[in-house]
Amino acid sequence: MKAWRDPVALLAVPASLYLLLLYALPLLWLLAKSFTGAEGLTLKPYIEFFSDPFNWRVVWNTLSVALWVTLVCLVVGYPAAFALARAGAALQIAMLVAIILPLSVGVVVKAFAWQIVLQRNGMVSQLLVATGVWDEPQRLLFTPPGLVLGAANIFLPFMILPIYSVVKLIDPRLLEAGATLGAAPVYRFVKIMLPLTLPGVVSGLAFVFSMAVSMYVIPSLLIGDRFQTLSTLTGRSFLFMRNEQLGSTTAVILLALAVSVVVSSSWLARRLGSRA
Amino acid sequence: MSFLEVSGAEKSFGAALVLGGVDLAVAQGEFVSLLGPSGCGKTTLLRIVAGLLAVDRGTVALDGRNITGLPPHKRDVGVVFQNYALFPHLTVAENVAFGLKAHRRSAGETKDAVKRFLDLVHLSDFADRSVRALSGGQQQRVAVARALAVRPKLLLLDEPFSALDRKLRETMQIELRRLLRELGTTSVFVTHDQDEALTMSDRIAVMNRGAIEQLDTPEAIYRRPATPFALEFVGLSTRLAGTSLGTDDGIVLVETALGRLRAPGSFVKGAPVLLAVRPERIKIGAAENTANARLRDAVFQGSKVQLHFEVRDGDQLMVETSDLPQVPAPGSEMTLGWSSADTLLYPAP
């Protein structure tokens, strides 16, 4: 009760009002819509949704693409965050600009750029042929790997920045202390760096996964209608099929999926972290 | 061959020479302090011995083995860091167990060692606490227990007391010294605090500008500082600029602003010299060397009184005495005396 008497708590009022009116209420409306049939409260939309194998495919598409994007971001972003945190002042600023500046370019612009990069004669294809991975040029555009590649690039800053902010705060002497205690480099990394960076990794994972699971523009431009995700399906239901019931149902399923993955992964990470 | 032998260690950072060919030999079980002002290269030397920094030139040998090129985790050299560098995600016991696990000691052995070393630093009751919940003194003890638990051949301590308040620092100094003596651990201790170095060390290396100016017992360093720097850095002193009037039978007669004074040594006539005396060696009243001076300031320090006298610019005349019936008033003329054997003489710096 004390917190309420603290005038500082009043500072949260504008943000709370904003979120309540413009976010929580519409979301509640959506939730209510998905559970309301002609005869009142019903689970019918959900039963219908899950009895159609096509929809299972949509859920699978959504989750697998989101997981791949998150994985690519983690593998690329984790070492990048270290390089960023340990770089000299000038280089660090240059790297930060390179990471943050692209965020100001619209997603649509970036997605169109990736369309060019992913063409049969695009850069990625040429690179893979030149390095001998592929025998001949192939089109990556409108394929799931192409989508993952493009989306991972666009979401990468959201993995690097939270990890970077944690790494920056870790005293480099902790690794030196580990070394003087007889720990080899890999052991030091696993027992010191990994657990200490885990909070940053968890927030990076949560950011990227929740954005990747709900992305709409990027799959629309990089893979098209043949590959539906929960979010493109939601869009189609509202915009083209004029089926608000289906749209709100898929939206709620998407929300439930995203929230449960993010919450459970952070819970898991915290458990692992306390044991490491 | 000594237990730890650093020879010709040289290190530059860019254009700045931080260590200019340092030699240091430490015997097994010895406690040696590296004493000097910040920037004198003492921490650089410590990091080189630990393997956290590579030498540009020179070698480091420990227990008869050349370890110059070995990475830190293969050296058997423990370090207590200035900020302790405890692992914040681990408990007190897990911090102490870290090195033992890294050395792949058995679970039983690890458990016994953790218990033993936590007992030794009186932290058994804190084993399962987070290190973040500890006070500065407790954290320092965890750092010591963690470094010692793997029984390193050599323990390096980088100003481990600098973050503690004075009273706690004194207790911890005595406790740590006792612990290291009991375990027979060879130790090199970095500090800029002369009292700390004098209290704890078997020998002190006085460092200045990347070189060791004197390496000797605390008593020898205090009584017979080898250089004006060692004189100034360790303890207080009366210092008078003067000119040699010639040497006779090992005694130099020196012309100073306070008259002609005698000191053991050998300087040709006309050589500029620096004459120094420790303040507690000077008595009230005439002696072999006698000077008259006007009292500028008297500082009462409980067990003793510190007297400062008016002298020429650049000189300093200071007396510490405990047998004055009462603190004299500033402005009074006093006669001071000391024996020539207590007088130190250096070429003018």
CB atoms within 10 A of CB A221: 19
Contact B52 A176 (CB under 8 A): yes
What ranges make up the beta strands (E) of B27-88?
31-35, 57-62, 65-66, 77-80
- Average pLDDT, integer, range B7-21: 94
Q: Is the pLDDT of residue B48 over 90?
A: yes
**Looking at residue A8, what is its pLDDT?**
86
Give the pLDDT band (50/70/90) at residue B168: confident
Q: Is the pLDDT of residue A4 over 70?
A: no
Strand order in the sheet with B344-347: B259-264, B251-256, B238-248, B272-277, B344-347
pTM of the model: 0.84
pLDDT tens digit string along A212-259? 999 999 999 999 888 999 999 999 999 999 988 899 999 999 999 888
Contact B52 A180 (CB under 8 A): yes
Q: Which residues of B touch A177 (CB under 8 A)?
A: 79, 81, 85-87, 146
Domain assignment of residue A112, yes or no = yes
Q: Which residues of A touch B14 (CB under 8 A)?
A: none
Q: Is the pLDDT of residue A275 over 60?
A: no
A40 shares contact with chain B (CB less than 8 Å): no
List, in sequence order, every residue forming a beta bridge with B284; answer none if it has no partner: B336
Tell me the two tokens of residue A197. Answer: 């960076």
Query: How many structural domains is chain A composed of?
Result: 1
- Average pLDDT, integer, range A100-126: 91
**Looking at residue A65, what is its pLDDT?**
96
From A205-219, B53-67, B131-145, B320-334, the region with the lowest mean pLDDT? B320-334
Nearest CA distance, B86 vs chain A (angstrom): 7
Question: What's the CA gap between B308 and B237, in Å, rounded?
Answer: 11
Contact B73 A184 (CB under 8 A): yes
Domain assignment of residue A11, yes or no = no
List, in sequence order, every residue forming a beta bridge with B253; answer none if it has no partner: B262
- Average pLDDT, integer, range B60-72: 96
**CA–centroid distance for A217 within its chain:** 14
Q: Is the pLDDT of residue A2 over 60?
A: no
B76 shares contact with chain A (CB less than 8 Å): yes
- Classify residue B236 by its DSSP letter: -
Of A150, A156, A152, A147, nearest to A99 by C-alpha is A156
B117 shares contact with chain A (CB less than 8 Å): no
Q: What Å distances lie between residue B233 and A69, A97, B237, B345, CA to CA?
A: 62, 49, 10, 16
How many CA within 13 A on the CB side of residue B287?
15
Q: What Å distances lie between residue A48 and A44, A244, B165, CA to CA?
A: 6, 14, 72
Domain assignment of residue A99, yes or no = yes
Tell me the two tokens of residue A77. Answer: 């972003």
Contact A179 B98 (CB under 8 A): no
Q: Which residues of A touch B140 (CB under 8 A)?
A: none
Question: What's the CA gap between B324 and B326, in Å, rounded?
Answer: 5
pLDDT tens digit string along B262-273? 999 999 999 999
Q: Which residues of B touch A173 (CB under 8 A)?
A: 81, 83, 85
Q: Which residues of A touch B99 (CB under 8 A)?
A: 181-183
User: What is the full DSSP assignment across chain A?
Assistant: -HHHH-GGGGGGHHHHHHHIIIIIHHHHHHHHHHTEETTEE--HHHHHHHH-HHHHHHHHHHHHHHHHHHHHHHHHHHHHHHHHHHS-HHHHHHHHHHHHGGGGS-HHHHHHHHHHHTSTTSHHHHHHHHTTS-SS----TTSHHHHHHHHHHHHHHHHHHHHHHHHTTS-THHHHHHHHTT--HHHHIIIIIHHHHHHHHHHHHHHHHHHHHT--HHHHHHT-TTS--HHHHHHHHHHTS--HHHHHHHHHHHHHHHHHHHHHHHHHHHHHHHH-
Q: Identify the residue whose tokens are 């090195």.
A: B99
Nearest to B73 among A174, A179, A196 (CB): A179
Nearest CA distance, B85 vs chain A (angstrom): 5
Question: What's the CA gap between A110 and A252, in Å, rounded?
Answer: 28
**CATH code at position A167:** 1.10.3720.10
Question: What's the CA gap between B276 and B305, in Å, rounded?
Answer: 20
**Looking at residue A276, what is its pLDDT?**
44
**Looking at residue A178, what is its pLDDT?**
97
Contact B89 A184 (CB under 8 A): no
- Classify residue A20 by its DSSP letter: I
- Average pLDDT, integer, range B26-46: 95
**Looking at residue B326, what is its pLDDT?**
84
What contacts B312, CB < 8 A, 6 or more positions away? B241, B257
Q: What is the mean pLDDT of chain B?
A: 94
CB-neighbour burial class of residue B15 (10 A; exposed 0-12, middle 13-18, buried 19+): exposed
Domains in chain B: ranges and CATH:
4-227 (3.40.50.300), 236-347 (2.40.50.140)
pLDDT tens digit string along A152-197? 999 999 999 999 999 999 999 999 999 999 999 999 999 999 999 9
**Looking at residue B328, what is its pLDDT?**
87
State which residues form the domain around A249: 53-275
Domain assignment of residue A34, yes or no = no
Q: CA nearest B71 in A: which residue?
A: A179
**Looking at residue A1, what is its pLDDT?**
47
Question: What's the CA gap between B143 and B146, in Å, rounded?
Answer: 5
* Coil/strand/helix, residue A116: helix
From A66-80, A97-111, B47-61, the region with the lowest mean pLDDT? A97-111
Question: What's the CA gap between B204 and B337, in Å, rounded?
Answer: 30
Domain assignment of residue A223, yes or no = yes
**Looking at residue A271, what is its pLDDT?**
74
Q: Identify the residue whose tokens are 């660090």.
A: A92
Percentage of chain B surpassing pLDDT 70?
100
User: Are A73 and A152 a contacting pair, CB within 8 Å?
Assistant: yes
B71 shares contact with chain A (CB less than 8 Å): yes
pLDDT tens digit string along A255-274? 998 888 888 877 877 776 65
